[in-house]
Amino acid sequence: METPPTCPQTECEIDVQFGQDGIARVALRGRLSMRTVADCWDKLETKLHGAKVKELEVDVRGVGFCGGAGYALLRYLNMGRMTPGAKVSVVGLAAGFQTIFEGFTARDYDAFHPRPQTSSHPLVEEAGHATRQLIVDMRDQLDFLGIVAANLPPSLVNPKRMRWPEVRHIFVLAGANAVPIVSLVSLLLGFIIAFESAQRLADFGAQIYVANTITVVMVREMGPLMTAILLAGRSASAFAAEIGTMKVNEELNALETLGLSPVRFLVIPRIVAGVLVAPLLACYSILMGVVGGALVMLGLGFSLMLILHQMAMSVQLGDLAVGIEKSVVFGIIVSGVGCWRGLQTQQGPSAVGLSTTRAVVTSLLLIILADAFFSTISYFFKQ
């Protein structure tokens, strides 16, 4: 027999005895409360670990109080978790304690006990989940494009089907209110491109061609692209947040109950406004970028007439047409993706924020892909 060790809390004592033929006895005395069970549990784990026990008797006659933690310890012992393969019996429970103890079975423990992760390939699972989500998104996007394509022509042909006041309102929010940020970004972008190209062209004594560079870059590439990026940050997120909030508040269900299509009522006006505002902002961005480059050229000592001559000689109407075409496509992408992600909003406190983030990220990705496609087509078409 071993001397009964006393837990740090004097309210609980344990006595572990090992007999012959694999028979063991555990006696518990005192209070099995939340404060004392942890230490007693550790003591029992240490004493019983590795012991070859065939039968275990847990005597709780000396227990005067048993809380929830105490019942957990007794059930753990009774299921043989400390003595695998042994027959365990708990004796000495008072009538009231016995009823509560039997109310929580081993089946309940197995059902509610958290199981460790058994998968040895989390990367494969994540890749499969991402692939499945991508396929679902592509299917939803195709459905959305089909619905928009079916509702857009009738809305344009029949003025009564188009909510033109809503289009004007969105035009002001996405277009007029974006003029200050577009002006600042485009002007600074013209400054940056002009200064960077001036440093390189100075080595060849060809700084005059800074005017040509800034004009071509802004007209064909940076003007439409920067406008689209700014619209993605402002308008796509706003569209997704507005429609997502309406969906969370079940306002879209109310529209359908009234016989109104959410796509025709909410999405079509925003797409039309996006298609109209994007080319105008792109042209304004081109103008501000060219102005920024011209200011740098003036600072380098070139005359205004020479700068304007170089700019006029470097671009043609075809270059401007490419920029306008890009801005139209970018406007469709920004407004369409913002509305699409808004319609995909799920329930929950973070659903609107998640839809907004996905709208901006998806818009930027599709803008870059569309720009790469335009650049590739332009290169081979000119060849």
Q: What is the pLDDT of residues 188-210, one digit of tens each?
A: 999 999 988 888 888 888 888 88
Contact predicate 292/187, CB 8 Å: yes
pLDDT at res. 333? 94
pLDDT at res. 7? 44
Contact predicate 323/286, CB 8 Å: yes
Helix (H) or strand (E) holding 58: strand 55-66
pLDDT at res. 47? 83
The Cα 167–Cα 232 span in angstroms is 18
Task: Give the residue extent of every domain in the chain.
Answer: 12-112, 128-382
pLDDT at res. 74? 82
Dihedral of CA atoms 142, 146, 151, 152 in degrees, nearest 10, equals 70
| Tokens representing residue 205 in the block | 């004594």
Band of residue 115 on the pLDDT scale cut at 50, 70, 90: low
Helix (H/G/I), strand (E/B), else coil: 19: coil
Cα 213 to its chain centre, rounded Å, is 38
- Name which residue leads in pLDDT, 260 or 189: 189
pLDDT at res. 332? 93
- pLDDT tens-digit map of 85-108: 788 888 887 776 677 777 666 665
pLDDT at res. 373? 92
What mean pLDDT is predicted for residues 134-162?
A: 84
Sequence-separated (6 or more) residues with CB below 8 Å from residue 284: 179, 182, 183, 186
Q: How many other CB atoms are found less than 10 A from the CB of residue 216?
A: 15
Contact predicate 22/41, CB 8 Å: no
pLDDT at res. 121? 60
Band of residue 382 on the pLDDT scale cut at 50, 70, 90: low
pLDDT at res. 261? 83
Mean pLDDT of the chain: 84
In this structure, whether the domain defined by 12-112 belongs to CATH 3.30.750.24 is answered with yes
State the alpha helices, DSSP H only, in the chain: 34-48, 68-78, 95-102, 106-112, 122-157, 164-174, 179-202, 210-217, 223-231, 237-248, 251-257, 262, 268-299, 304-314, 317-343, 351-382
Q: Are strands 55-66 and 23-32 parallel, antiparallel or unpaired?
A: parallel
End-to-end CA, the chain: 97
The C-alpha angle with vertex 220 and arms to 277 and 373, in degrees rounded to 5, equals 90
Dihedral of CA atoms 367, 368, 373, 374 in degrees, nearest 10, equals 70
Band of residue 143 on the pLDDT scale cut at 50, 70, 90: confident
pTM metric for this prediction: 0.65
- Name which residue leads in pLDDT, 368 or 176: 368
